[in-house]
Amino acid sequence: MLKKCIGDPSLILPTESVKIKDNLSFEEVPVQILDRQVRRLRTKDVASVKVLWRNQFVEEATWEAEEDMKKRYPHLFESGGNAD
């Protein structure tokens, strides 16, 4: 059975600012590195960075592997973008 849903208008983004492609997809671009942490496992250390993505709020930032982010987006780490 369907129930009535009341949406939150503050979460609606205009499609012009998101730059949706013809195939209805878009590329999410990282804006800033917010935090860095190193998790110690039994045999190795895993470094992660908290990434703020374009068109998202700070609360929606995600933890990503630092090594992968350095390969894909080196500009975030070059000019003091690291939160150390």
Question: Total structural domains in the chain?
Answer: 1
Residue 11 lies in a domain: no
* Radius of gyration of the chain, Cα coordinates, nearest whole angstrom: 17
Residue 8 lies in a domain: no
CA 73, CA 4: separation in Å to the nearest integer? 42
Inter-CA distances, 60 with 28, 57, 71, Å = 13, 5, 22
Range(s) of the domain holding residue 68: 25-78
Q: What is the CATH number of the domain that holds 30?
A: 2.40.50.40
Q: Is the pTM of this model over 0.85?
A: no
Give the tens place of pLDDT for each residue, 6-43: 778 777 767 666 677 777 777 788 999 999 999 999 99
Residue 18 lies in a domain: no
